[in-house]
């Protein structure tokens, strides 16, 4: 099948699943088509897809690059479906057999091609809706995976809450630490769309070093990085709060990208709903009511780890963004990542919210 045909079938299932959900952020058919086109264009990647019209959809990919804990692993993704355990169990059995035939020892997901893109299942706080890029699904998804024989593999969290006096509460510890790093030659610069694009090649060169140890990480090409994370990121990131940590030689020591929660603008229940690909910071003024700053993507170069740099960047993001936002959050953090301690520390008040997500696996 062509990428257009696969995407059209898959899109119709999502439309069925979320037909009456006003909180759903929709699905961009053009983006879905492009992802399948990219998958089919990779010579070292094999793709299996199946769609049960009106019931379920599933894709599985396998590549020699997908070696997890020493085992060749297949990824399942683009998964959506109705609450139909028997049909899902049968669908996964077929997917498992295909993956086994390709030599895979484990099936892991949901991962849409790569952890650079959408992955994980939402496990709680469904009534809170979602921000773009956050897992969102009906509450029964984890149960479907359990029925199909999958086990929880990795857990992730988002912490969100009112900014109010949070900056002041951390300033006594953070300001001296910030001054100490600056005295060593580090500088903390604003990061906007222009500066992100201006250093995009440099960021790509650091991607493997910063994120290479992340679970299920697989490298993507420079061209793919530029297409998916160049202009789309530059257009949406918050220029007030995003932080670039620069070493004394002008190189990248770390970075943290902040984004407004554009979710209210793309929710299906919004009469003037936009698609995610149309969103940019120029729409910030259209966010009525609560405005939430999301600390979504960041990392520290290995040469500068264990020096509190991530905590300082998190603090600066909140400090610089506090004049523009009501809420803030550290989002989509793996529970055993060092940055999880920072997010939990900063958003651990009774009124704060924690959203949980999971990756699931099944031995083949």
Same domain, 56 and 70: yes
Which pLDDT score is estimated for 210?
78
Residue 13 CA to residue 5 CA, distance in Å, equals 13
Same domain, 137 and 183: no
Which pLDDT score is estimated for 295?
94
Q: Kindly report the pTM of this predicted structure.
A: 0.93
Domain termination residue (choose one: 102, 134, 155)? 155
Residue 53 CA to residue 47 CA, distance in Å, equals 19
Same domain, 251 and 216: yes
Which pLDDT score is estimated for 94?
98
Q: Which pLDDT tens digit goes with each residue over 246-256? A: 999 999 999 99
* Mean pLDDT for the stretch of residues 170-191: 96
Q: Is residue 359 part of a domain?
A: no
In the predicted structure, residue 341 carries a pLDDT above the cut 90: no
Residue 258 CA to residue 297 CA, distance in Å, equals 7
Higher pLDDT, 123 or 345: 123
* Mean pLDDT for the stretch of residues 57-79: 95
Same domain, 258 and 148: no
Residue 13 CA to residue 11 CA, distance in Å, equals 5
Q: What is the CATH number of the domain that holds 263?
A: 3.40.630.30
Domain termination residue (choose one: 155, 187, 218)? 155
- Tell which residue, 58, 52, 214, has the closest CA to residue 145: 58
Q: Please, what sign has the CA dihedral across residues 89, 91, 96, 97? A: positive
Same domain, 37 and 146: yes
Token representation of residue 349:
């008040």
Same domain, 150 and 242: no
- Tell which residue, 63, 62, 66, 76, has the closest CA to residue 118: 76
Confidence of residue 208 (pLDDT cuts 50, 70, 90): confident
Q: Is residue 360 part of a domain?
A: no
Same domain, 229 and 317: yes
Which pLDDT score is estimated for 108?
98
Number of domains in the chain: 2
> Contact, 118 vs 135, CB < 8 A?
yes
Residue 110 CA to residue 88 CA, distance in Å, equals 14
Which pLDDT score is estimated for 290?
92
Same domain, 132 and 260: no
In the predicted structure, residue 59 carries a pLDDT above the cut 90: yes
Residue 129 CA to residue 27 CA, distance in Å, equals 15
Residue 320 CA to residue 258 CA, distance in Å, equals 11
Which pLDDT score is estimated for 355?
97
* Mean pLDDT for the stretch of residues 312-340: 92
Confidence of residue 74 (pLDDT cuts 50, 70, 90): very high
- Domain span at 243: 160-354
Same domain, 174 and 273: yes
Token representation of residue 51:
């769609």
Domain termination residue (choose one: 155, 181, 211)? 155
> Contact, 170 vs 315, CB < 8 A?
yes
Q: Is residue 362 part of a domain?
A: no
Q: Is residue 58 part of a domain?
A: yes
Token representation of residue 31:
């983006």
- In percent, the amount of the chain with pLDDT more than 90 equals 81
* Mean pLDDT for the stretch of residues 47-73: 95
* Mean pLDDT for the stretch of residues 117-145: 96
Token representation of residue 264:
């209210």
Same domain, 151 and 242: no
In the predicted structure, residue 360 carries a pLDDT above the cut 90: yes
Give the pairing of strands 67-68 and 71-81: antiparallel
> Contact, 345 vs 87, CB < 8 A?
no
Confidence of residue 213 (pLDDT cuts 50, 70, 90): confident
Q: Is residue 127 part of a domain?
A: yes
Same domain, 176 and 246: yes
Same domain, 13 and 111: yes
């Amino acid at each position: 099948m062509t990428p257009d045909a696969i995407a059209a079938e898959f899109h119709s299932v999502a439309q069925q699943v979320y037909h009456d959900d006003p909180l759903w952020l929709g699905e961009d058919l053009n983006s879905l088509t492009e992802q399948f086109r990219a998958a089919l264009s990779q010579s070292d990647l094999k793709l299996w897809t199946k769609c049960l019209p009106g019931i379920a959809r599933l894709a599985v990919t396998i590549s020699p690059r997908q070696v997890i804990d020493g085992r060749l692993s297949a990824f399942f993704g683009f998964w959506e479906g109705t609450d139909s355990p028997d049909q899902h169990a049968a669908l996964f059995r077929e997917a498992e057999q295909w993956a086994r035939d390709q030599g895979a020892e484990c099936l892991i997901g949901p991962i849409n091609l790569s952890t650079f893109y959408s992955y994980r299942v939402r496990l709680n706080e469904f009534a809170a809706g979602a921000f773009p890029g956050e897992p969102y699904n009906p509450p029964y998804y984890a149960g479907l995976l359990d029925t199909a024989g999958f086990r929880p593999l990795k857990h992730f969290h988002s912490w969100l809450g009112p900014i109010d006096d949070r900056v002041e509460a951390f300033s006594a510890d953070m300001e001296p630490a910030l001054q100490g790093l600056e005295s060593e030659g580090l500088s903390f610069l604003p990061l906007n769309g222009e500066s992100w694009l201006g250093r995009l090649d440099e960021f790509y060169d650091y991607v493997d070093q910063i994120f290479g140890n992340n679970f299920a990480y697989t490298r993507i090409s420079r061209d793919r990085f530029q297409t998916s994370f160049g202009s789309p990121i530059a257009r949406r990131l918050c220029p007030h709060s995003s932080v670039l940590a620069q070493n004394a030689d002008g190189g990248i020591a770390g970075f943290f990208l902040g984004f407004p929660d554009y979710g209210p603008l793309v929710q299906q229940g919004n009469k003037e709903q936009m698609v995610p690909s149309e969103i940019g910071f120029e729409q910030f003024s259209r966010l009525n009511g609560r405005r939430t700053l999301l600390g979504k993507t960041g990392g520290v170069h290995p040469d500068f780890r264990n020096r509190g740099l991530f905590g300082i960047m998190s603090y600066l993001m909140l400090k610089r963004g506090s004049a523009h936002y009501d809420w803030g959050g550290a989002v989509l953090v793996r529970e055993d990542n060092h940055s999880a301690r920072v997010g939990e520390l900063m958003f651990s008040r009774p009124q704060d919210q924690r959203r949980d997500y999971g990756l699931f696996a099944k031995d083949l």
